[in-house]
Structure 1
Amino acid sequence: MTRAQLVGIIIGFSIVAALTMLRASDPAPLKLARDATFDEYQRLSPRPFEDMPVHVVDIDETSLLEFGQWPWPRDRLATLVDRLAAMGASVIAFDMLFAEPDRLSPRNVVRDVPGIEPSLVEKLPDNDEIFARSFVGRPVVLGFGLSNQGNYRPPVKAGFAFTGESPINAPPHFTAAAPLRPQLEAAASGIGHINLNPGASSAVVRTVPLLLTDGEQFYPNLAMEALRVAQGASTYLLAGAPEAPDIITSIKNGDFVVPVTKAGELWLYVSPDNAKRYVSARDVLAEGGASPETAATLEGSIVFVGTSAAALQDTRTTALGQNVPGVSLHAQTIEQILSGRFLSRPDWADGLEILAVAVLGVLLVTLTIFVSPAIALVCGLLITAFALVASWLAFLYGGLLFDPLAPIVTGTITHFAATSFRFLVTDRQRREIRRAFGQYLSPSLLYRIEHTRNALRLGGDERELTVMFVDVRNFTEISERLSPTAVVSFLNTLLDALSRHVTDNEGTLDKFIGDSIMAFWNAPIDVADHRGKAVRAALAMRETLAHLNANNAFGFGAQKIGIGVGIHTGLACVGNMGAESRFNYSAVGDAVNVAARIESSCKHLAFDILVSEAAAQSLDDRFAMLDAGAVELKGKSRRTRIYAVVGDDKIARSTAFSELQAAHLQLVRALNSHSHNNRKAIHAAKVKASGMTEGLQEFYSRISRRHDHYLTQPGEPAPEKTGDSVQGPIHSD
């Protein structure tokens, strides 16, 4: 692990730790995002509406137009109770408060009229008493609301039992309620609170507290009381966690077990608002009685009496984004219990999500720093997709609520931070390498350098290289008859076409020297079969040059451009060379000089691709090569064996080349034996070379003038210099 990677890991893990602690603290923005995700799940797959024995008698706009503004006199509400009881409603639950005396009661209307005897006032009807009498023998449930004043608490009509210790402090607390009229609370079969989301910071109703507590007593909500009274049950059974006394896991109400949050709240799984849920109060109170259809609808139903009139402002927002009457959510609570379709967020969900944040963060930091930001991104996207799919399937098939956003957001932040650090610090050396070597290395070789630790040792490294020199034949003559601009254009066209074969074969372009190219293989990193790749590059150059000449790419007409290629394998020192402020990656040494001298030999031997014996090792079975003799190279005290490269493995396996090899061997023997049949052997070789590689004819035409190349073996001292010996500067024409 490098120092930069260690620093990256420390910074990355610190960010992961901070994000994990942030998720553990669960601030309001995270809760809001989580709730919005669960809302979206419900919108994608809401609870389907089912026609159940749960209805709302709605004091709607038409009812107010028919019977006058709200509040109605309570004797009319008594009539409503009578009508509903006659229709066979199993429960009549009022989602409204009866805290004040009925101001429309005759007794209250005349009480303050001057001159009326108090005894007469007491003989007048009281609507609250009429309303209370309508409760007698009937399953009527009243609602109570919370208050910030006083200490009134309504009577509890049901008993509570629990497994283990009492979870009295688990539900939401309240200190006081708005008082109910004494005669009404005494006559009611049940009393429940009507607050849907007390203390909630959001207007969206997502959970409903089925219980409230004052620290001494439990108080059920209106829906639970309506369900209890409908079943004739007398007691709620609260199940808790033995190891945590202030947690409620479920509430048993008669025959129904309701899973709840640890605070005794029900996650609402709402269905879209539907007109079949409602019956207008006008239809129930219609003169002459309700219609048979209305009676049939309400028979046996749990009936909630409430209002949808806009002026009465009893509307709530559901997870589906709909604004609905508050009373409909009490009805939906019972619908959900009857259907058995519950939502739950397990107590261990927070722990799982916190663990997911930590594990995902550590994984992404590790992958980004040590492997690749791209791979880390792919893994992050796969994990994100898995989290989303798993969360959605858990909701769809199990009603479980798991938050996919926390690990996703954490993963995004972590990946961005780790990638930024790597780009700014860890990858700085890699970018420097790419800038330095991108001009003369193939992309594949550059990639290997970037991803191989200690692959590059700058400043000088002795290693075996295969060195190539390429030179244009007769360049001086060509440049003399061209303008400087035309010379540059010619060189750009030629050198660009030839040099790409170096990088295509994993070679390193060292430099361009006028009309020459210097390249080498097996540096800065090891290249397998570097000898063979150098020879393949040379053959590709020959083919490219033939194509350029055939298509008159240089505009020289019938004049053909020729090149000479010299290749040698040996030890050289390779690295950054020059001044600190300006340097080049290059190679120096005897191997470089020998390759340059071999390239110069191409002109004298009349052949375009020559390789040294060291470079030809292990290549004779893959390339068609001919022994070109042991030549004298300038600066070398002993001759060097070189070979002419005729073609690739296809030519090497051909019958024509086998015959040429045999003729060439006869020629060499004739030259070594000073035979008088030299001309005959040369002619035979030229015949066999006919139709093969261009240049072989001239190669054999000149062989009589340089037959001494075959007389001296490599390693022997060179004979006295002759006019035909191979000498001259490195880059002669």
Structure 2
Amino acid sequence: MPFWAWAGSVYVMPGVELASIGDVGAWVPIGTPALGALFSYVGSVAYVAIVEGREKRFIKGAFGKYLSPDVVAEISEDPSALTLGGEKRPLSLLFSDLSGFTEISEEMDAQDLIALLNEYLNDMTQVVFDEKGYLDKYIGDAIMAFWNAPKAVPDHPDRAMRTAILMQRRMASLNERWSAEGDREPLKVRIGVHTGEVVVGNVGGEDRFDYSAIGDAVNLAARLEPANKTYDTLNMVSETTLAMSDGAYRVRELDIIAVKGKDEPVRVFELLEMEGVPLEAAKERALPVYEEAMALYKERRWADAKQRFEAAVAACPGDGPSLLYVERCAENIADPPPADWDFVVRRTEK
């Protein structure tokens, strides 16, 4: 007999479901087990859906304000990529601070001040999000952001450096807009960028915590931002970050510094623009002269270096790094440093 003819028949009567098994003549109740299996399956699917839904809601709630919507969506679809309990990971970190904001806050009406601050923070945060960065926190008008966590970002040094450049462009646009709206002094944003291994994860108590980063690399990045004041620069990036980038940037060497509280020095650069983007004419004239002067400075030819730094200042009056090195050369001529001087400037302020 063909298989399909005897494989089985099902008889359904009120309250009873029986199945015949081949030619054996045995009748087996299948209703209850079948319904049990069905309910078990449905329950399992529902449980998984509930758990996954709860997980996605947690991720969106925890990261919705700190990451761009598309990145949050990616993470919520693949929560396995997250390690929230804490892990060591290389990050590129950015700290920014609005120069002169304290003075402005004393002069402006409270509502106007908050409106200005919110507009500034909104624009700068959008730049971070556009480059797939994580907004760690606002500290007044200051911003802390990082890349490569919670979602891996292989080109995190480049994204952090691009963000610094794009934030400066956005700052220029904001100043133009504010100037057109009324008589207001232009604001400047100082930025420090560094890359290094940190501990990243949920930091806080049981009821309140933040996903954040801690470690020496965080402290160094935070110190680079105010170090800009010494050189009258806007963007400072560490050699570590620059070496890990694709190199498509216009930079100039500033110094070798050891920040307060740290003995290990780091070479730092002024991050000027993307490669191929022209600067103002005076700056373009000054940069090659500055490079010549820096080469002479490293050879301890203080008088020759001073002349070239002065030439850089003549080409671009007010150029901060050139002015600083004119002073340093004069000091070294008057009181030469020892032969074993390592050129490291040890900062005594944050």
Work out whether the TM-score is over 0.5: yes
Alpha carbons 1:637, 1:717 under 8 Å: kept: no
Q: CA-to-partner distance for each residue in 1:340-388, whole Å, 9 max, x for gaps?
A: xxxxxxxxxxxxxxxxxxxxxxxxxx9xxxxxxxxxxxxxxxxxxxxxx
How big is each residue's C-alpha offset from its partner over 1:545-594, in whole Å with a ceiling of 9 and x where there is no partner? 10111121696624110110000001111100100100011111000100
Q: Distance in 2 between matches of 1:702 and 1:604?
A: 8
Give TM-score, length-normalised by structure 2. 0.76
Task: For residue 484 of structure 1, report the CA deviation from its aligned partner.
Answer: 3.4
Q: Is 1:619 the counterpart of 2:241 in the alignment?
A: no
Aligned residues: 306
Query: What displacement does 1:439 show?
Result: 0.5
Residue 304 of structure 2 corresponds to: 677
Query: Are 1:632 and 1:639, in contact at CA under 8 Å, matched by a contact in 2?
Result: yes
Cα pair 2:158 2:246 within 8 Å, conserved = no
User: C-alpha displacement at 1:418, in angstroms?
Assistant: 9.4
Quote the offset at 1:440 in angstroms: 0.7
Question: Does structure 1 conserve the Cα–Cα contact (< 8 Å) formed by 2:197 and 2:217?
Answer: yes
Structure 2 CA distance for aligned equivalents of residues 706 and 493 of structure 1 = 40
The structure with more helix, counted as a fraction of residues: 2
1:669 deviation in Å?
A: 2.2
- Cα distance in 1, alignment partners of residues 231 and 105 from structure 2: 24
State whether structure 2 residue 153 is matched by structure 1 residue 527. Answer: yes
Structure 2 CA distance for partners of 1:706 and 1:537, relative to 1, 3 Å: farther
Residues 68-88 of structure 1, C-alpha deviations (whole Å, 9 max, x = no match): xxxxxxxxxxxxxxxxxxxxx
Q: Structure 1: how far apart are the matches of 2:244 and 2:119?
A: 34
Judge which range, 551-560 or 457-466, deviates more.
551-560
Shift of 1:524: 0.8
Structure 1: gaps of 5 or more residues? 1-23, 28-365, 367-413, 691-695, 720-724
The amino acid of 1:685's aligned partner reads: A
What is the rounded CA distance, in whole Å, between the counterparts of 2:282 and 2:54 in structure 1? Answer: 55
> Partners in 2 of 1:515 and 1:498 — Cα distance?
11
In 2, the alpha carbon distance for the partners of 1:716 and 1:26 equals 94
Is the deviation greater in 600-609 or in 422-431? 422-431
- The within-5 A match list for 1:376-387 is none
Q: What CA deviation, in whole Å up to 9, does each residue of 1:224-252 have, x standing for no partner? A: xxxxxxxxxxxxxxxxxxxxxxxxxxxxx
List alignment gaps of at least 5 residues for structure 2.
Answer: 1-9, 14-40
Tell me what 1:543 maps to: 169
Alignment of 1:200-349 (within 5 A): none
Give the superposed CA RMSD. 3.5
Q: 2:83 aligns with which of 440, 457, 463?
A: 457
Conserved? CA contact 2:194–2:220, under 8 Å: yes
Instruction: Tell me whether 1:728 sits opposite 2:349 in the alignment.
Output: yes
Distance (whole Å) between structure 2 residues aligned to residue 623 and residue 563 of structure 1: 19
For residues 302-337 of structure 1, the C-alpha deviation after alignment (integer angstroms, 9 at most, x for no partner) is: xxxxxxxxxxxxxxxxxxxxxxxxxxxxxxxxxxxx
* Structure 1 counterpart of 2:26: none
Q: Quickly say closer, same or farther: Cα 1:687–1:419, change in 2 above 3 A.
A: farther
**Is 1:504 matched up with 2:130?**
yes
The answer to whether residue 64 in structure 2 is matched with residue 442 in structure 1 is no
C-alpha distance in 2 between matches for 1:450 and 1:706 = 54
Identity %: 30
Counterpart contact for 1:440–1:509, Cα < 8 Å? yes
Question: Which among 561, 570, 584 is matched to residue 210 of structure 2?
Answer: 584
Larger relative strand fraction: 2
Shift in CA distance, 675/705, structure 1 to aligned 2, threshold 3 Å: closer
Shift in Å, 1:485? 3.1
Higher relative contact order (Cα pairs below 8 Å, separated by 6+ residues):
2
Contact persistence 2:306–2:325 (CA under 8 A): no
TM-score by length of 1: 0.38
CA contact (8 A) 2:155 2:245 kept: no
Corresponding position: 1:595 with 2:217: no
Inter-partner Cα distance in structure 1 for 2:169 and 2:279: 19
Alpha-carbon distance in structure 2 between the residues aligned to 1:647 and 1:26: 79
